């Protein structure tokens, strides 16, 4: 008991320390992303009078205004989440959320298994936390036991084995871990926008956003010049999960290779 309290305290201290640490070491990437978004916004604002004159003459005002409103919404989402990242919002949120959960780092075996997918230097593997138990029991009851990743934390449910009636941790499910780690990878390289984008597709497609058409369709996509970044966040995670599963089963994964290479190149 005493040991587990000490471990819990050590983990919370680590969470707290990550806030100032990431404020500094992630400042260049975070400020760069925000700077680019502000630049794009200014540019659009400067072109606004010209744009209005053009669409008024072309008679497509209503359609173009709808398009502009959508683009403004996307821009605003980017601006807000990038500002949130810049002030260390992810670290503060994770600190608070972890207060009611049990967190553990990746095991050496898990790290070895996933490093071959994501590359040795593309993720801070030692910072990844698997969260289980505590308030998560309640969350999984509401979301139907769907594992999810928030920033550098992967939340895994405990599933009930139908045959035996016993509780089975989904931690043994390595392909699921790879799926959720793809979301961590997305966060690391594009920031918190991945979360808003993933939730948007989950909500607007009624959880049907994982389908990418399988191996055959991937081949066609590649021939047509479709890139990994053109898939939505859930499709991206599913593609990498399926690659991992099929590679372990010694199946032909050639259709997945170009997209995996783009992931490793951080083209998200
Ligand atoms: Zn997912």
Distance 246 CA to ligand 1 centre (A): 18
Distance 233 CA to ligand 1 centre (A): 7
pTM: 0.91
Same-domain status, 190 and 118: yes
Specify the 3-state DSSP secondary structure of 225: coil
Beta carbons of 122 and 64 less than 8 angstroms apart: no
Beta carbons of 122 and 129 less than 8 angstroms apart: no
CA angle (166, 167, 169) in 5-degree steps: 145
Distance 180 CA to ligand 1 centre (A): 6
Residue 190 to residue 184: CA distance in whole angstroms: 10
Same-domain status, 131 and 240: yes
77 contact partners, CB below 8 Å, separation of at least 6: 193, 196
Q: Give the end of a domain, one of 37, 64, 91.
A: 91
Residue 178 in domain: yes
Mean pLDDT of the chain, nearest integer: 91
- In order of 191, 202, 225, the CA distances from 94 in angstroms are 14, 22, 38
Same-domain status, 161 and 235: yes
What counts of helices (H) and strands (E) characterise the chain? Answer: 11, 6
Q: Give the end of a domain, one of 91, 122, 142.
A: 91
Name the pLDDT band for 95 (thresholds 50, 70, 90): very high
Same-domain status, 25 and 66: yes
pLDDT of residue 34: 98
Distance 115 CA to ligand 1 centre (A): 19
Same-domain status, 28 and 120: no
Same-domain status, 147 and 259: yes
Residue 142 to residue 267: CA distance in whole angstroms: 34
Distance 79 CA to ligand 1 centre (A): 23
pLDDT of residue 81: 98
For the chain, percent of residues with pLDDT exceeding 90: 71
Distance 218 CA to ligand 1 centre (A): 18
Distance 236 CA to ligand 1 centre (A): 8
pLDDT of residue 201: 87
Q: Give the end of a domain, one of 45, 66, 91.
A: 91
pLDDT of residue 209: 83
Distance 185 CA to ligand 1 centre (A): 12
**Domain total of the chain:** 2
Which residue did the predictor score with more confidence, 48 or 129?
Answer: 129
Distance 179 CA to ligand 1 centre (A): 6
Same-domain status, 57 and 143: no
pLDDT of residue 207: 72
pLDDT in tens, 167-204: 667 888 999 999 999 999 999 999 999 999 998 888 88
Residue 97 in domain: no
Distance 178 CA to ligand 1 centre (A): 10
Same-domain status, 112 and 167: yes
Residue 146 in domain: yes
Residue 128 in domain: yes
pLDDT in tens, 145-158: 889 999 999 999 88
Distance 112 CA to ligand 1 centre (A): 21
Distance 44 CA to ligand 1 centre (A): 32
pLDDT of residue 165: 61
Distance 5 CA to ligand 1 centre (A): 32
Residue 220 reports pLDDT greater than 70: yes
Same-domain status, 14 and 117: no
Write down how long the chain is.
268
What integer is the mean pLDDT of 199-225?
Answer: 88
What integer is the mean pLDDT of 96-118?
Answer: 94
Q: Which of 62-66, 96-100, 112-116 has the lowest mean pLDDT?
A: 62-66
pLDDT of residue 158: 81
Same-domain status, 193 and 149: yes
Distance 237 CA to ligand 1 centre (A): 6
State the DSSP H helix or E strand holding residue 70, giving kind and residue range, or none if neither. Answer: helix 61-86
Residue 96 in domain: no
Same-domain status, 225 and 205: yes
Note down the domain range covering 63.
2-91
Distance 146 CA to ligand 1 centre (A): 9
Residue 23 in domain: yes
Distance 207 CA to ligand 1 centre (A): 10
pLDDT of residue 160: 65
Same-domain status, 69 and 175: no
């Amino acid at each position: 008991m005493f040991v587990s309290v000490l471990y819990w305290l050590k983990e919370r201290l680590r969470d707290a320390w990550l806030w100032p640490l990431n404020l500094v070491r992630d400042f260049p990437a975070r400020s760069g992303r925000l700077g680019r978004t502000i630049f794009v916004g200014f540019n659009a604002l400067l072109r606004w009078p010209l744009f209005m004159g053009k669409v008024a003459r072309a008679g497509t005002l209503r359609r173009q205004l709808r398009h502009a409103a959508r683009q403004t919404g996307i821009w605003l989402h980017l601006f807000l989440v990038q500002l949130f990242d810049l002030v260390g919002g992810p670290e503060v949120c994770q600190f608070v959320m972890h207060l009611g959960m049990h967190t553990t780092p990746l095991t050496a075996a898990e790290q070895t298994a996933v490093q071959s997918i994501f590359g040795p230097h593309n993720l801070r593997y030692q910072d990844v936390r698997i969260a289980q138990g505590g308030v998560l029991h309640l969350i999984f009851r509401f979301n139907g036991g769907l594992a999810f990743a928030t920033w550098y934390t992967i939340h895994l449910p405990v599933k009930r084995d139908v045959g035996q009636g016993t509780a089975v941790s989904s931690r043994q499910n390595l392909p699921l871990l790879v799926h959720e780690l793809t979301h961590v990878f997305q966060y690391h390289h594009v920031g918190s926008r991945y979360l808003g984008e993933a939730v948007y597709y989950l909500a607007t497609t009624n959880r049907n956003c994982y389908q990418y058409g399988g191996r055959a369709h991937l081949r066609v996509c590649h021939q047509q010049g479709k890139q990994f970044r053109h898939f939505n966040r859930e499709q991206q995670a599913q593609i990498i999960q399926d690659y991992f599963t099929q590679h372990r089963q010694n199946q032909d994964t050639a259709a997945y290779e170009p997209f995996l290479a783009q992931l490793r190149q951080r083209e998200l």
